[in-house]
Chains A and B, each alone.
Chain A
Amino acid sequence: MTVAAMVLGLVTVLLFGGYVKDLTYGLQTDFVQLSGHLQVQHKDYFRMGSGDPATFGVAQQDSILKAIREDSELGPMVAVATPILQFGGLAGNAQAGVSRTVFVTGILVEDQQRMRQWNEHGFPTLAAHISLAGTPQDTAVIGTGVARVLMLCKALGVSDCGDAPAGNAASAEAGGAALPSDIADLVPATAPAADAEGGRPRVDLLVASARGAPNVASVSILAAEFQGIKEFDDVHVAMHLAQAQRLVFGADAPKVTAIAVQLQRTSQLEAARSRLEALLRTRFETQPLAVLDYETLNPFYGQALAMFGAIFGFISALIGAIVLFTVTNTMTTSVVERTAEIGTLRAIGVRRGDIRRIFVAEGLLLGVVSAVVGILLALGLATAINASGMTWTPPGRVEPLPLALRVAGEWGMMLLAAVGVVVLGALSALVPAARASRLNIVEALRHV
């Protein structure tokens, strides 16, 4: 019974821990696939510069990338190093007379595709193919929220859209929501007719260029794709890096807002960070650059993990307390049943302290047995559950994932839990052992 209680507690803690681990790795994989492990940014960009890529950008992107890839220490650790340009702007559908603030991300599509292959933790689902691959330079992909506001639902096949309220169409004709005419004049020079590309809708993008003047480009929308989280989905526009740079910097030397570095393994992060910082300090000292890790860049990650850590800790403590009480109880019963035996041992010369030690040793031994049985059982159950085909959809994801409790291979967690059970066994034995040692010999011998 003692062993059963301890085994049950251990198995529960390990299985829940396996679930939390899976969540951790899943979140990590998502972030690392999208934004890499580390990013080189202007040192003030993250705090305050996201609206001004010109002032808070990173110059000499090609030299930096080359330096990273060719460095003897850093090179082998890096899976992908790629530049990213992000900025805000206004997207407008001139025909429908609607516009919306958007956040544009300019990427090198092939690099991003490779980043999505990262799978250190062996998740079975494959990363989604990036639609922009192989498309002309002025192609963009938008979030479904953007599509809705810009009334491109039918054109892009987005469901769950209402038709535009009647009022908008009328005001559009009156030119109320259209681009101002002097700016609109910039558009035709670069924009082919709407039908020229097999019916892809076009959207105008207005941004504040590096020189402060507005700049406009017309992009052809390939598709609207749901971004997982509504806040992102409502403002997302992805396009080719070169086009994005032309939009912001025109003919001037282009910059990027970040250079994303994705490593082979997450465990290399600290080593890579130090080396990268040293590299930037020595060879690119003219720019005020900083290296940020994916946890800093995604506060949600740290917060989500902290929350799960707290829940896990609370549950473990609770289970530990219950096991402690249960085992103390069964050991006390054992002491009572062995009263005559204890009296006999004391009579033939065993000291009080030795009696106590005998019982504590028994508790320890039971703890060890429970630890071994518990770990084997947890491994078996986790394997069975993982093979059962159950799925779940984590927050922020679109498709469900197979349920994978990560117990196997998590040596740290298993060791900690095993040690916990052994300590619990000894602790539970303390009070009963003390009682046993303090028994009055004469009364104990009288006990049947």
Chain B
Amino acid sequence: MPAMTGSVPGGPDRKRVHPVVLKGVNKTYRMDAVDVPALVDINLVILPNRFTVLSGPSGSGKTTLLNLVGCIDCPDTGTIMVGGRPIQRMSDDAMSDFRGFQLGFVFQSFNLLPVLTAFENVEYPLVMAGMPRDQRRERTQSLLQAVGLGTHGDKRPGQLSGGQRQRVAVARALAREPQLVLADEPTANLDSKTGNEIIELMRQMQQDQGVAFIFSSHDPKLLAAADDAVYIHDGRIVGVDRNRREARADARSVEQSAGPGP
């Protein structure tokens, strides 16, 4: 993969990677007259620069947890540290800026702006960041190339396939060199071949950029590709599985070195 050019000017903690730490987090939704507990007493550490999957059945609270980490929702109680900052006390504007600066988002329905071209969609966060025009254009082009869409920049989302749209979304998410990319069911609207391609792309990006990817998904392919898995059920964490890839790699190398059976 070609190296990325045009780094985004960063703040002091741009290059220092932080884990995501949740302590005593609770979130309740009010549906009609009933309070529905979505998350109960969550204590979790999500390590940087890894693929982490939040796994669980529908309604388990994994999307809510992802939203909290992504700062698009606030916990009722508890503390959440993202990028070294406690986010639950931030003002709305500060949170907006934080998201733009430190986070990237990939959505199930791609969520591209339909009136803009692929190029402009990826460029958008850089415009928000106030990057000078030439630098911006260069970076956008190299991002598109990195996701394999270097020649598709002038197409509108309506003219792209699902897989291509998700690639654009990944490029957009990485535009400002975030610490963390949050993806809610990124492969749910894709066929399995395309889904695999996207997973592969994200893995590549994670390695090239040193970005942490946090997924909320029940796609088994994603679970298979994850470094860490967090199992959630009925709003509670029921299990955390770390270093799964290394464990699998070790298992495979043990098998290989064992050689054929006696």
Minimum CB–CB distance from A352 to chain B (whole Å) comes to 6
Q: Are B96 and A442 in contact (CB under 8 A)?
A: no
From B98-106, B191-199, B237-245, the one touching the partner chain is B98-106
Residues of chain A within 8 A of B104, CB atoms compared: 348
Q: B128–A441 contact, CB under 8 A? A: no
With contacts A346-B72, A442-B72 taken as known, whether A351 is within 8 angstroms of B97 at the C-beta atoms is yes
Mind listing 10 A-B residue pairs with CB under 8 Å?
A341-B111, A344-B111, A344-B113, A348-B99, A348-B105, A348-B128, A349-B98, A349-B125, A350-B100, A442-B67
- Please measure, in the bound complex, the distance between the C-alpha atom of A352 and the C-alpha atom of B172, giving whole angstroms: 20
- Shortest C-beta distance, B213 to chain A (Å), equals 16
Docked pose: A347 CA to B183 CA in angstroms: 12
Does the CB pair A353–B93 fall under 8 Å?
Answer: yes
B107 interfacial contact with A, CB 8 Å: yes
Number of CB contacts from chain A to chain B under 8 A: 53
Is A340 an interface residue when CB atoms closer than 8 A count as contact? Answer: yes
> Do A347 and B113 touch (CB < 8 A)?
no
Q: Does A335 lie at the interface of the complex (its beta carbon under 8 Å from any beta carbon of B)? A: no
Q: Are A347 and B72 in contact (CB under 8 A)?
A: yes
| A352/B96 in contact, CB under 8 A | yes
Shortest A43–chain B CB gap in Å is 69
- Chain A contributes a number of interface residues (CB within 8 A of B) equal to 16
Nearest Cβ in chain A — how far from B168, in angstroms?
A: 13
Chain B residues near A352 (CB-CB < 8 A):
92-93, 96
Collect the chain B residues with CB atoms within 8 Å of residue A350's CB: 96, 100, 128
Q: Does A445 contact B (CB under 8 A)?
A: yes
Interface residues of A (CB under 8 A from B): 340-341, 343-353, 441-442, 445
Given A344-B113, A352-B92, the answer on whether A441 and B100 have CB atoms closer than 8 Å is no
B101 in contact with A349 (CB, 8 Å): yes
- Complex interface: chain B residues within 8 A of A348 (CB): 99-100, 104-105, 124-125, 128, 172
- Most chain A C-beta atoms within 10 Å of own C-beta, residue among B96, B100, B111: B96
A48 to B172, CA, bound (A): 85
- Mask: chain B, 99-135; 1 = CB below 8 Å from A; 0 = not: 1110111010101011000000000110010000000
B253 to chain A, nearest CB (A): 41
Closest to B101 in A: A349
Q: Does B138 contact A (CB under 8 A)?
A: no
Q: Could you tell me the distance between the alpha carbons of A283 and B62 in the complex, rounded to whole angstroms?
A: 98
Say yes or no: A351 contacts B96, CB within 8 Å: yes
Contact status B99-A347, CB under 8 Å: yes
| A340 nearest in chain B by CB position | B111
Nearest CB of B to A235, in Å: 74
